[in-house]
Amino acid sequence: CVEALEVEVDMCDFETVHVGDVHFNNTLLRHLESERPLRIRGVFQRLEAHEVESTRSIWTREALLKASHSYGEFKIFRQKHGQKQTLSLTMAQYLEWMAAHDPLIDPQPDWLVDFSLPEGHPLVEAHTRVLERVLGQHYTQRLQEPLGLSNYQFMVGPVLTGASPHFHYASFRSMVFGRARWFLWPPARAFYSTRDIYDWFLSEYPMLSDEERPFECVQGPGEVLFVPSLWGHGVLYLEDTIGMASLFRS
């Protein structure tokens, strides 16, 4: 059933804007104020050439392996048959497991999702550097609001993993490597699912009525997705994926 995942790389049911677009700032502000989702492309173009290389280089497999000891352990999420578990592994241990993973044998693999990375962590700094350049004051002002940032969500996952449908306050999700298929519902139709996202996609997604069907969008490398507050969303990785999100409290 992996074939069922194949969609057009550019597919997106809501607006997409490129950072080089002359109307970029107006488009961004309009979506932030109206709480509408937005896909932002070309984010690395806001960085200097040497910054692009240094920013992307720390996310590579080689760099993550090299820094494994200093990074310590990460939270690994396991969801099988409706049961959830949390494990702790070093980056080297997880990447070794990931390299040996076969999605045809194990369609519900473990994926790394850690909410505990602090300010100043090299991965957090790389993520925020990009968002500050792309979003400017729209991002920094949110950080300074009374409720402000909730946490950073660092993610590394193999194909077929991802997040089951859920909702929370606003977030900006950057993709460094890989592709993900997003499913989004307006707040009035947001819901939680305890099913693994791939299981949900195979069993429940085909049965959705026209009224229940989500907005969909494929996020690729070098793109940021704005998910407004309380919009329901599920994420299914189409490839091995690395990224990070900033989650806010309002």
Q: Phi/psi class of residue 126: alpha, beta or left (left: φ > 0; alpha: ψ in -120 to 50)?
A: alpha
Beta strands in the chain (DSSP E): 16-18, 38-41, 73-80, 83-90, 111-114, 149-157, 162-166, 171-177, 180-185, 215-219, 223-227, 232-237, 241-248
Token pair of 200 as six digits: 């949900």
* Residue length of the chain: 250
Its pTM stands at 0.92
Query: How far is 25 from 151, CA to CA, in rounded Å?
Result: 25
Q: Residue 150: is its pLDDT beyond 90?
A: yes
Q: Give the model confidence (pLDDT) of 226-244 as tens digits.
A: 999 999 999 999 999 999 9
pLDDT of res. 84 = 77
Q: What is the mean pLDDT of residues 122-142?
A: 93
Percent of the chain scoring above 70 in pLDDT: 95
Q: Give the model confidence (pLDDT) of 165-207 as tens digits.
A: 999 999 999 999 999 999 999 999 999 998 889 989 999 999 9
What are the residues whose beta carbons fall under 8 Å from the beta carbon of 121, sequence distance 6 or more?
none
| Contact indicator for 129, 55 with CB cutoff of 8 Å | yes
pLDDT of res. 204 = 95
